[in-house]
């Protein structure tokens, strides 16, 4: 990866955070103390917040905006799959109860969509 790619990556990251902040605030309700325990707890809260389906949808939509901003929409296939999947989940569909809603996804695609976001634990804090 050349030096130009680091600049592009930095722009994407900054733009992604900028877009996300207009729609959600994962830091709301966090208490910041200078301890390892506080840092670990906040990190888990942050990642658990972002891994909720409605916030995963926002993250995918925000990334699509970044790709449009960078004029890289040809890279959006996985992002569009994530938007489609989480839109259905947020409308109340589930893979188990409504399998026909998800028949346009193969198992690898669904696994990829679900694991693109790191979840520190499945339990709410």
SS (H, E, C) the chain: CCHHHHHHHHHHHHHHHHHHHHHCCCCCCCCCCCCHHHHHHHHHHHHHHHHCHHHHHHHHHHHHHHHHHCCCHHHCHHHHHHHHHHHHHHCCCCCCCCHHHHCCCCHHHHHHHHHCCCCCCCCCC
Domain count, the chain: 1
pLDDT interval class at 118 (50, 70, 90): very low
Residue 125 lies in a domain: no
Residue 60 lies in a domain: yes
Residue 105 lies in a domain: yes
Give pTM, 2 decimals.
Answer: 0.71
State residue 71's pLDDT score. 86
Can you tell me the mean pLDDT for 81-109? 92
Q: What domain range is 95 assigned to?
A: 9-18+35-115
Residue 3 lies in a domain: no
Phi, psi of 35 (to 5 degrees): -135, 155
Residue 78 lies in a domain: yes
Query: What's the CA gap between 54 and 6, in Å, rounded?
Result: 30
Mean pLDDT, the chain, whole residue set: 79
Residue 86 lies in a domain: yes
Would the pLDDT of 124 be above 50? no
Residue 16 CB: number of other CB atoms within 10 A? 17
The upper half-sphere exposure of residue 88, i.e. CA atoms within 13 Å in the direction of its Cβ, equals 20
């Amino acid at each position: 990866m050349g030096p130009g790619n680091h600049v592009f990556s930095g722009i994407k990251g900054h733009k992604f955070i900028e877009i996300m902040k207009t729609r959600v605030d994962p830091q709301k309700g966090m208490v910041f103390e200078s301890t390892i325990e506080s840092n670990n707890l906040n990190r888990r809260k942050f990642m658990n917040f972002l891994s909720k389906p409605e916030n995963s949808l926002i993250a995918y939509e925000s990334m699509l905006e970044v790709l449009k901003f960078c004029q890289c929409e040809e890279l959006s296939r996985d992002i569009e799959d994530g938007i489609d999947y989480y839109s259905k989940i947020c409308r109340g569909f589930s893979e188990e109860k409504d399998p026909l809603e998800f028949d346009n996804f193969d198992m690898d695609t669904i696994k990829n969509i679900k694991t693109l976001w790191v979840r520190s634990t499945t339990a709410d804090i």
